[in-house]
Structure 1
Amino acid sequence: MTREFQGYNTSSAANRHTRDRKCQGIPTSELNRKGPDIGLITVFPPEEDAFFAISAFKPHPLHPFVDLLGRRFLVGKINGKKIIYVRCGIGMVNAAAATQQMLDFFDITGIVHFGIAGNVNNSMSIGDVTIPKQFAHTGIWDWLNPNAKLNANNNIGQLDIESYNVPKGHGSNLLGHIVYNSEPFFSETGEPNSAQPLLWAPISEHWLKLAANLEDLSLEQSVNSTLFLERKPKLVVGLKGSTANIFVDNAAYRDFLFQAFKVSSVDMESSAVVMLGQNGIDIFGSLAATNAAKAVITFLQHL
């Protein structure tokens, strides 16, 4: 179980024509006229609670929130920097929708997703924070007929279900094989309706360089006076992460992801999201969320 947050630089010119739409009687252009904001996104209440418990976020004195299409976007500042915050909800569809709403209605210079993530790298431990350099969408698979032969071209990720039979190597398995299929990616720099296969989505290099200044950050080690970690958590920049609408609480699949994609964390929203076993989140979930929030707030000081 690790903590994870990602930074995505964005274009502040995206869909400006929609930003004058009135929300709760407040034109969003009024909120945007003093320059761009930094977007912050968490996923579920424990992450949000930990973020606000640090008390770094100061609400806008006149317009502390805007309700848009079922979500409440909070408006304020952290260390003098203008912030738009929203809790998106679990899943990639929710994450994409909340991110698009934020870009459509506000003047956003960059977005940080943060929260609790699952750990698939044995060099990482509970309480650690990871800031990945790139992400793979590991939820797109071709499930083959059990008698189908594996294509040598699908050499990124091939999962042979039969290899996990117990006892190992005993008999055949009707689940057969699944092979990874890269996501088709449409870009404003590419030709219209001409998608390119995408395996790794990179994070802003500039933000990663700034994040490297956080590696000496002192993170929380204890939940309370009787529950604490045996070693001090660390912050690591530059590993790889994976995202899929799959809650991973399975050691065999975790090991497969690490071996096939060399990822260190897994989440469900291509940002830092809950992806850990029930016991782990019950015991150390609050510490996980606190360390993620602490890392994000410190990172904002370097922007």
Structure 2
Amino acid sequence: MAAKSVPSFLEVLVLICLVSTCVSAKPTNRIKSHNVIKELNRKGPYIGLITVIATEENAFFDTGAFKPHPKHPFVDLAGRRFWVGKVNGKKVICVRCGDGMVNAAATTQQMADLFDVKGIVHFGIAGNVNSSMSIGDVTIPKQFADTGLWDWLNPNATLDSSYVGELEFESYNVPNCNGSNLLGRLGYDSEQFYSESGDPNTPQSLLWAQVSKDWLQVAASLEGMELERCVNSTLCLQEKPKLVVGLSGSTSNIFVDNGAYSDFLFHTFKVSSADMESSAVVMTSLSNGLAVIVIRGLSDLAGRQKGHNSHETFGSLAAHNSAKALVQFIDRLYTY
């Protein structure tokens, strides 16, 4: 039997270095980011800005209002880039969270845990479910409901008295008849809201997550501001867009592009907009004791249109109007 070869000291040392490099590469980057965050926080507090997609983030930068931090213009952490700088002299940190409520809540919690922020401004685009509103308008709602929290029941199931709304699929049979629909019905439920101001492990039943009243008062001064009407020189809206403060909005992990469901949301919950992130940002901010407000530009009719959804055509316009309102809001907010 051949004798086993014994690794030399140099071979062992190289192996240790390789293993150490593989294990420590990511933690080293994370430690570096956390050290930068500590340095930035000594110059805080900041206003946290959270948007969703690249179109909205680009619209914000296109305003020219953002002035990056001279030493640390951004911090990369957990796959996201947090931009650091000022808007109209106010210190801000801006991040793009990505689609959906999980991304929105996770990013908001990151902002609350890591950065010295006094409040969160969430901005972007949304679908319009209110016939008195138009594409290009900007809505700054007073409250949001999570309309994606429901029980999907069998056709003959008994509705729980705690449900805050119900949708029966047989009401939408075509042709309209008295026959049941195997999809049954939905029973809409309320959220369980945890807050640092409440008792630990004691959630509060919550349908409407309300934005901060003092910030909403500041936002009210924006009504009447000039908004953009044209995507380019050849594509313009028929009506001049307006900014409306104090309506209600809905959030779910559903891109609403169905007229019947859009009407259902409006008549059942009296909401004017539908998006996929706002209530998650608002609830997470409130749980952490942070001020919060939402600014959304309306890009489409949430399925009530004839033909194709207009969010690809007017999404950039809605995003620019939202960003324009954001900059004006920050300008009127208290000075740090």
TM-score in terms of structure 2 length: 0.80
Name 1:13's counterpart in structure 2: none
Shift of residue 170 of structure 1? 4.8
The answer as to 2:103 corresponding to 1:94 is yes
The answer as to 2:125 corresponding to 1:116 is yes
Shift of residue 29 of structure 1? 1.9
Counterpart code for 2:274: V
Counterpart code for 2:63: I
Q: Does the CA contact (< 8 Å) of 1:140 and 1:182 recur in 2?
A: yes
Q: Does the CA contact (< 8 Å) of 2:231 and 2:314 recur in 1?
A: yes
Counterpart code for 2:120: I
Work out which of the two has the higher radius of gyration on C-alpha atoms and give 1 or 2.
Answer: 2
For residues 55 and 209 of structure 2, the distance between their equivalents in structure 1, rounded to whole angstroms, comes to 27
The answer as to 2:302 corresponding to 1:302 is no
Decide which of 56, 61, 86 is 1:47's aligned counterpart: 56
Look up the SS of the partner of 1:258 in the other structure: helix
- When residues 201 and 224 of structure 1 are mapped into structure 2, their CA distance, relative to the original with a 3 A threshold, is same
Shift of residue 149 of structure 1? 2.9
Give 4+ residue runs of structure 1 displaced > 6 Å after superposition.
none
Report the identity percentage: 66
Name 1:224's counterpart in structure 2: 232
How many residues of Structure 1 are paired with residues of Structure 2 in the alignment? 282
Superposition pairs of residues 226-265 of structure 1, within 5 angstroms: 226-265=234-273
The answer as to 2:145 corresponding to 1:143 is no
Decide which of 29, 40, 43 is 2:38's aligned counterpart: 29
Name 1:126's counterpart in structure 2: 135
Counterpart code for 1:294: K
Look up the SS of the partner of 2:84 in the other structure: strand
For residues 158 and 44 of structure 1, the distance between their equivalents in structure 2, rounded to whole angstroms, comes to 31
Q: Does the CA contact (< 8 Å) of 1:23 and 1:67 recur in 2?
A: no
Name structure 1 gaps, 5 residues minimum. Answer: 1-20
Name 1:287's counterpart in structure 2: 317
Q: CA RMSD in A?
A: 1.7
The answer as to 2:225 corresponding to 1:195 is no
Q: Does the CA contact (< 8 Å) of 1:135 and 1:243 recur in 2?
A: yes
For residues 101 and 312 of structure 2, the distance between their equivalents in structure 1, rounded to whole angstroms, comes to 23
Name structure 2 gaps, 5 residues minimum. Answer: 1-29, 279-293
Q: Does the CA contact (< 8 Å) of 1:22 and 1:28 recur in 2?
A: no
Q: Does the CA contact (< 8 Å) of 2:163 and 2:189 recur in 1?
A: no
For residues 313 and 78 of structure 2, the distance between their equivalents in structure 1, rounded to whole angstroms, comes to 34
TM-score in terms of structure 1 length: 0.89
Counterpart code for 2:312: D
Counterpart code for 2:57: E
Counterpart code for 2:75: V
Look up the SS of the partner of 1:232 in the other structure: coil
Superposition pairs of residues 53-68 of structure 1, within 5 angstroms: 53-68=62-77
Question: Quick check: which one's helix share is greater?
Answer: 2
